Structure 1
C-alpha cells in the first residue's frame, strides 16, 4: 500500500516538475490589504537595510546551521573532519549553553547602521537549527534558558534588545524567522535519521506530529508579533516548507527525498500576525504566492528591473555567519551594487555577522562608515526613488523621484576622478533644466548632441576628490525612453 502511495506521489511530483519546466517562476501575486500595500510603498522608499545572522554557531565560526544538515556535507564540513554525525550534533547543540556574548552592544550596531544610511534591520530570531535568540515559551533551546551562560545577563532577550536599539536610531525593525526547525522533535523526529533539509517523517502518516509543528510555528511567530514592539517585516526563510501544490522546479531540486505537503497554513499565520501588527509585510521567501509580498534574490542582482517589489540580500563579507578571517567587499563595490539595485527598482539588504563575543569585525564598521560618507551626500538620489528607463547607460545609472526629477549617477572606478565630460543617452533634460552634482551648489553646463546628453564638469569640482560615484540631479526631463 505504501509503495503504491509513493509511486502515486512520485507521479504527481513529476507532473508538477514538468509544469514548472515550462514556467519556472510563477507570477507575483499583488497584495490586496490596503495597509500592507501602503507599507510596501514605504518599504520601497527605504532602499537600504541590514540583515544580521547570529547564533551560537559563531563560537566555531562555521556556516550557520547547515553543518548539521546531512545533504550539504560537501560545503559545510564538520569539525573535526570524520566525526560521527550524532557526536557532532551533540557538540553543536551544546554550543547553545556556552553562548555568552559579553560584549553584546546593539546600540553600537544600530548607530553604525544609521550612520551607513541603512533604514531597516532584519534580525535572525531563529535559524534552521532551531536555536531561538528570543525568549520563547515553546522550547528550552533558547538564549534565555536557565542553563545558558548568557541567560543571567539582563539583556539576555537578544532579539528584543536589538529591535529596541535599532528603533531608537530611527531604523525600521523586521524579524527573520526560519520555518523549518531542525531541533524540534516535530520536524526532525529523532525516531528517524534526517536525510536532507526537509521534515524527516511521513506527514500524512504522522499527521498529529505535523499539526503540533504547525501550532509550534504559529505560537512562536505570535510571540514575536506581540512581545517585541512594532515589527514591519516578517522575513520567513526555509522555502522548502510549503504546500505541495506550490512546489517549483527550484524547490523540487532541494529534496533528496520525495517532497511532502509541508503546509504550515500561511494564511492563518499571516492573518494572526497582521492582527497584531497591521500592515505587516510578510516575505515567505521563494514560495511564490499571496504571502510573498516581495521577492529576495540572494547574492545576486537581476540583469534588468523586475515588475514587482524585490530586494537583493547579500553578504558584506564572504559569509552569512561569523567567520574569523572574513574578507569584506570594497566600499566601491558595495556602493556600485547599491546604485545598480536601486536603478533597477530594488532594495539592498546587506548582511553583517557578529562574533561569539557580540562584536562585529572592525572591517564591518569601517565599511559601513565608508558607505555612510557617500550616502550623506548622495542619499537624495537613492531614497524614495523608483526605476526609470533606460535604467543604465554604460557607467551612468538613473533613478527618479515621484516629483519627476531624475538623477544620473556616474559610477567611478577605484581611484578614478570625476571625468571632465559626463555623457549619457535615453534621458533628455527639459529646456532650461538645472543640472547639479549633489554636494555642489554650482549648476552644470549641458547640451544635447547626436549621441545624447553631454554635461561639462568644471575642474574645481573634479578636484573635490569624489569617490565611488557622483549623482547629477536633473530638475525636470523632456523625454523618457519607453
Structure 2
C-alpha cells in the first residue's frame, strides 16, 4: 500500500499547494491535453525543498551497472550517428555530421520531399521482445535498465497522449517503454528512462541563434518540414514558441513518471536551456511521485544543470580523474563511437570496456552502458558477444563490485590518463597489470584488489595503500584469489602486501582480483 508522508498538521498547506500546482499546469493542459497526477507535496518546486531529497539512494550505490539503448527512427538510415535527423538538414557541417545531407538525398530524395518523419513507418521493431531483452541485460550483469525515452529527434518511445509521434501510435505500434519496464520489474531490476529532448525546441528562427549558442536541434527553414505548422509535425520538430515548448517538455517527462514509475530519470546535456522553474517543477513531480509510491528515486543529469545535493552527476563517455566524495555516473557506449546502430559499426573489446568500468567503480562511480539495436529490433551478434563476455566476468567477480564502497584511495598505476571529450578522463584508457584499483565491502572487512591485466605466471605482486583513512595499517587474516576462492601465499611487511600471482591457467585476462580479509 502506498503511504503518504504528509502529516495531518500539513494537510491544509498541502491542499493549498495542490491547488496551486493545478493552476501552474493550466497552460500545459490546454496545449497538450495532458493533466499530470497531483501528489502530496512533500517537496515543493524550489531548490531548498528539493535539496532535502538527497542525491542518490543506497540501492544505486549498490547496483553499479545499468544498460540503456539509443533506438528510434534514426536507426533506419543507420548512417554515421544518431544525430542524423539534425545533420540531414544542414549542408556541409564541419563536424561529425559531414556528408549526411548528401547521403540522405542520394538514398531517400530531397529533404523538401522526404523528411525525418518519413522514417517513422520504417522503424518497425518487429523483433523486439521485452522479456528477451530484460533477460539479456540481467545476464550481462546489469542491475537496472531502460530505454532512451525520447532523443533529440522528438520521437517518444512510449504510449504518449502528449506527443502523437510515438512508438505505440506508429512505427513499431507498441509501447516499447511500458513493455520493457514491466519485464525488468518482473526480474527484480530497477528502471531508468532517459530524456534528451530539451535541445529539440527551436529557439532560433530563420537561422538566427538565440544568444551565444545555436540552441536548436532542427534547423528552421520555411521551405522544409522543420517549419511545419501541422499540429503533429510541429511537436516532432519542436517548432513552437519557447513558452509552449517548455510546457511540452515538462509534460513529456511528467507523463513518463506518472505512467511508468521509473526509479531514475536521466537528462542529457542542454537541460540548462529549460528555465529554472520548469526544472524545479520536474524534480518536485518526480520526487513527490516517488514518495507517494514509497519508491526511492534518483535524478541524473550532466554539467551543472541541477544542484549537486539533489541529483547524480553524469559524465558522458568518461570518468573521474580523482575520487569525489559522492556517487556519480558515466554513460558509455559499447561501440567505439556513436550511440545508435550505424553501418559498419565498430566495438570496444571486452577487456578495454571492463577495465575502464573497474576504474569508475573504484571512484564511487556507476556505469550506464549503451547498446545499439537495429531498426528491426535485432541486437547485432557483435554486441551480444560483448554483453556475454561482460556478464561472464561479472558473474565470476561481481562480489568485488556489487554492494561495495570506495577504499581510502581508488588505486594507483602507470596508465597514461587522457582527457575525456566531455570532462574528466577518457573512457578508453589502456590499463595493464601494473594498474591497481580497490573497492571495499560495505562492512569494511574486505578489501578487493584489482590488477587491470594478467600478471606473469608466478610473479610476486607488491600491493600498497591498504591503510584506512586514518593511516592505520590493516591486520590481515587471509588473502585469496577471487576467481576460484583459492588461498594465496602472502606476506605483509613495511606496509606492502606481497602475494604470488595465480597460475596463468587460473588467471583472468581482463583483470586479476584478490580479496584481502581483515581481522
The residue aligned with 1:400 is: 440
Contact 1:336/1:411 (<8 A) preserved: yes
Alignment of 1:56-95 (within 5 A): 56-62=73-79, 63-65=81-83, 67-68=85-86, 70=90, 74-77=95-98, 78-81=100-103, 83=105, 87=111, 90-95=114-119
Q: Distance in 2 between matches of 1:194 and 1:356?
A: 34
Q: Which runs of 5+ in 2 are unaligned?
A: 1-46, 221-239, 414-434, 468-472
1:337–1:218 Cα change, 3 Å: same
1:386 alignment partner, one of 405, 420, 424: 405
The residue aligned with 2:283 is: 270
The residue aligned with 1:252 is: none
SS in structure 1 at match of 2:102 = coil
Q: Distance in 1 between matches of 2:497 and 2:404?
A: 22
The residue aligned with 1:5 is: none
1:288–1:57 Cα change, 3 Å: closer
1:88–1:283 Cα change, 3 Å: farther
- CA deviations on 1:167-191 (whole Å, 9 max, x unpaired) are 2232210110124263xxxx32796
Alignment of 1:8-47 (within 5 A): 32-34=51-53, 36=54, 40-47=57-64
1:418–1:194 Cα change, 3 Å: farther
The answer to whether 1:141 aligns with 2:181 is no
1:242–1:264 Cα change, 3 Å: farther
Alignment of 1:343-362 (within 5 A): 343-362=362-381
1:55–1:325 Cα change, 3 Å: same
The residue aligned with 2:515 is: 473
The residue aligned with 2:355 is: 336
The residue aligned with 1:247 is: none
The answer to whether 1:284 aligns with 2:276 is no
The residue aligned with 2:391 is: 372
Q: Distance in 1 between matches of 2:299 and 2:171?
A: 33
1:193–1:138 Cα change, 3 Å: farther
Aligned-residue Cα RMSD (Å) equals 3.0
Q: Distance in 1 between matches of 2:177 and 2:67?
A: 15
1:399–1:96 Cα change, 3 Å: same
Contact 1:50/1:350 (<8 A) preserved: yes
- CA deviations on 1:68-87 (whole Å, 9 max, x unpaired) are 15595531132435959982
The residue aligned with 1:104 is: 128
- CA deviations on 1:202-225 (whole Å, 9 max, x unpaired) are xxxxxx933322221222112111
* 272-281 or 308-317, which deviates more: 272-281
The answer to whether 1:426 aligns with 2:465 is yes
Contact 1:29/1:290 (<8 A) preserved: no
SS in structure 1 at match of 2:477 = coil
The Cα shift of 1:418 comes to: 5.3
Q: Distance in 1 between matches of 2:178 and 2:84?
A: 25
Alignment of 1:158-307 (within 5 A): 158-180=176-198, 182=200, 187-188=201-202, 192-193=206-207, 195=209, 196-198=214-216, 209-228=241-260, 230-239=261-270, 241-242=272-273, 262-263=275-276, 265-278=278-291, 279-290=296-307, 293-307=311-325
SS in structure 1 at match of 2:111 = helix
Instruction: Give the total of aligned pairs.
Output: 409
1:380–1:30 Cα change, 3 Å: farther
Contact 1:332/1:468 (<8 A) preserved: yes
1:329–1:29 Cα change, 3 Å: farther
The Cα shift of 1:297 comes to: 1.1
Contact 2:272/2:305 (<8 A) preserved: no
Q: Which runs of 5+ in 1 are unaligned?
A: 1-27, 202-207, 244-261, 478-482
Q: Distance in 1 between matches of 2:49 and 2:303?
A: 15
Contact 1:65/1:127 (<8 A) preserved: no
Contact 2:479/2:487 (<8 A) preserved: yes
Q: Distance in 1 between matches of 2:335 and 2:356?
A: 14
1:42–1:33 Cα change, 3 Å: farther
* 465-474 or 78-87, which deviates more: 78-87
The answer to whether 1:150 aligns with 2:150 is no
The Cα shift of 1:341 comes to: 0.8
Contact 1:131/1:142 (<8 A) preserved: yes
